Amino acid sequence: MSTHLSRRQFSKWAAIAGASAVVGFDPRNRSWVTVAQAQTHAFREIPKLDGELLLDEESRRAIATDQGNMFHRVPAAVLRPGSVQDIVAMVRYANQHKLKVAIRGNGHSRYGQTQAEAGVVLDLRSLNAVRVRTPRSADAQPGAFWSVVADATLPKGLTPRLFPGTCLKLITVGGTLNAGGIGLMTPHYGALVDNVTDLDVVTGDGRLVTCSPEHESELFEMVLAGQGQCGVIVRAGLPLMPAPTHVVHLELTYNDLDAYLADQLRLARDGRFDGQRGQMLRDQSGTWRFVIEVGKFFTPPDEPNIRALEADLRFASAAPLLRMTYRDYLFKLETRGGVPGPGRPCPIITMWIPASATRRYLDNVLSLSPEASGLTPFQGVEQFGCYPLNSRRFTRPLFKVPSEEQAFAIWLFRSVKPGDEAALSALLASNRELLAKMTAAGGKRYAPYSMVISPAEWQEHYGPQLWRRFSEAKRKYDPNHVLSPEPDIFGAAVRP
């Protein structure tokens, strides 16, 4: 019910919170109401919160962008929740007043997925605790960076099966579980979403539900890699195992692309190493070299015989072996992963290509030299990630991978100078062409780096059956279409 502040209430509120503090929302004018305005404006009181609801321009503008620097949507408010109950209360309030709610980890997605024009952004970095529950499981809140998961588990001699491959201090548990998440141990364990035991989720209609493969399994499956469409993950159960103490790290360089791809696939298939990733690098003369980095876990003094493990591989040269702790290994790639300069638009694209199509597909990428295409540095591709995947390890329906047994993850870190609109258009056009060729080759896109695409293209991505299932889940768990206006996966199909 709408209300006004009486003169007495006004004095009390102004003394406690200040005249500019917000007391509610005016659904008729679709605006927030401050203490100062509340004597004359009718408003619906905001729920009592343990955290902060920020309405000042600076806080709203600060969160109106993401790492892509291409979309800027200013929300009406930013919630820094102090508890899970705050999220329940705000999602219910948004349902009552037709407010859109965007969910944000650290905003490392690139295409505006964490933004809501005139809506509320849940800035989940304030919920960031990690607790080891038993030697076999930990609970992580969504805003915890993966480095915090490492800090909570490694000193106890425990580890999740999988961490993201790079930048543990920059990406959050909630953000990666809504994207999918791959890492160095992916050939063994699949994606991060394959390594979750149970979740607490606040659904789009404001219910707090615990779900797992056994209980409320539909919600579990429609939230993991679900791009924030059906619910807000507020706790994730991560399975733990004993942590290795040390790692031998080996870097192998190839000049022959066919030998490189074949060895990548062989290593991923036979699993002789524990960690594996790849990179392709072009030097100033335009020559490409192809690198595989592998890690083998061990407990001193029992060091593995690396020479025997590499004997049948066809690399051209090998860097000296590095021995390091498991922790240093996880954090070794902290600065990699394409963190752009300040304000640089960076339309990264990432895709999974079926192994049999990769060699041909890569011709499209390796020929993208700046000189050949008239692009300036970084719009072409000087360095990109190339990880092998074993498709059967990916078990979550919304994390789509090619149907072939093996595939490659291709990460293109592309960016342009701030303000160079022509260069950005050229880059986006080039991305679209690469993605169209990827689809034609039977590939799949990685959600946070998949460009802005239409509901029809999302339908093609998921396939008609899964898209229908996902649409039904959206209707069931977020009936008022409150959560995550971006990406627009369903279009008019599910709008109330």
Which residues of this protein are in contact with ligand FAD, per CB under 6 A? Answer: 67, 103-109, 113-114, 124, 142, 164-167, 170-172, 174-176, 178-179, 181-183, 227-228, 232-233, 337, 339, 448, 484
CB nearer to ligand FAD: give 233 or 435.
233
Q: How far is CA 139 from the centre of its chain?
A: 19
Residue type, position 234, single letter: V
Q: Do the beta carbons of residue 315 and residue 263 sit within 8 Å?
A: yes
Minimum Å gap between C-beta 21 and ligand FAD is: 27
Identity of the residue, 158 or 233, whose beta carbon is nearer to ligand FAD in the bound complex: 233
Q: Output 182 or 427, the one with its CB closest to ligand FAD.
A: 182
Nearest to 121 by CA among 91, 97, 83: 91
Tell me the helices (H) and strands (E) count for the chain, helix number first.
15, 22
Nearest approach, Cβ of 38 to ligand FAD (angstroms)?
32
Kindly state the DSSP code that residue 375 receives in the 8-state scheme.
P
CB of 175 to ligand FAD, least distance (A): 2
In sequence order, the 6+-apart residues with CB closer than 8 A to the CB of 196 are: 177, 224, 236, 237, 238, 239
Identify which of 77, 24, 20, 15 has the alpha carbon closest to the alpha carbon of residue 52: 77
Task: Pick the closer one to ligand FAD by CB: 354 or 385.
Answer: 385
Residue 112 or 380 having the CB closest to ligand FAD = 112
Half-sphere exposure in the Cβ direction for 116 (13 Å, CA): 24
152 versus 191: smaller Cβ distance to ligand FAD:
191
Kindly state the smallest distance separating residue 327's Cβ from ligand FAD, in Å: 16
Q: How many residues can be counted in the chain?
A: 496
**Residue 165 Cβ, how far from ligand FAD at the closest point, in Å?**
3
485 and 204 Cβ atoms separated by less than 8 Å: no
Least distance from ligand FAD to the Cβ atom of residue 413, Å: 9
Return d(Cα 394, Cα 386) in angstroms, integer: 18
Minimum distance from CB of 482 to ligand FAD (Å)?
13
State in angstroms the smallest separation of the CB of 280 from ligand FAD.
17
- Which residue lies nearer to ligand FAD by CB, 19 or 62? 62
Q: Smallest distance from the beta carbon of 171 to ligand FAD, in angstroms?
A: 4
Least distance in angstroms from the C-beta of 423 to ligand FAD:
21
Query: Which is nearer to ligand FAD, 37 or 172 (by Cβ)?
Result: 172
Q: Which two tokens stand for residue 137?
A: 């499981």
E strands present in 18-69: 22-26, 31-34, 44-45, 52-54
Q: Which long-range contacts (CB under 8 A, 24 or more apart) does 150-157 make?
A: 150/327, 150/330, 150/331, 153/240, 153/243, 154/243, 154/326, 154/327, 156/132, 157/242, 157/243
Q: Which is nearer to ligand FAD, 26 or 457 (CB)?
A: 457
Is the Cβ–Cβ distance between 112 and 71 less than 8 Å? yes
CB 87 to ligand FAD: min, Å: 9
Number of residue whose CB is nearest ligand FAD: 175
b/e 22-46 (16+ beta carbons within 10 angstroms → b): bbbbbeeeeebbbbbbbeebebbeb
CB of 180 to ligand FAD, least distance (A): 6
Nearer to ligand FAD, 24 or 119 (CB): 119
Give me the DSSP letters along 113-132: TT--TTSEEEEGGG---EEE
Distance CA 326, CA 203 (A): 37
Of 143 and 354, which has the nearer Cβ to ligand FAD?
143
User: Phi and psi (nearest 5°) for 92?
Assistant: -65, -45
User: CB under 8 Å to 57, separation ≥6 — which residues?
Assistant: none
Q: Which is nearer to ligand FAD, 23 or 447 (CB)?
A: 447
Angle at 386 between CA 380 and CA 388, to 5 degrees: 160
In sequence order, the 6+-apart residues with CB closer than 8 A to the CB of 88 are 202, 206, 207, 208
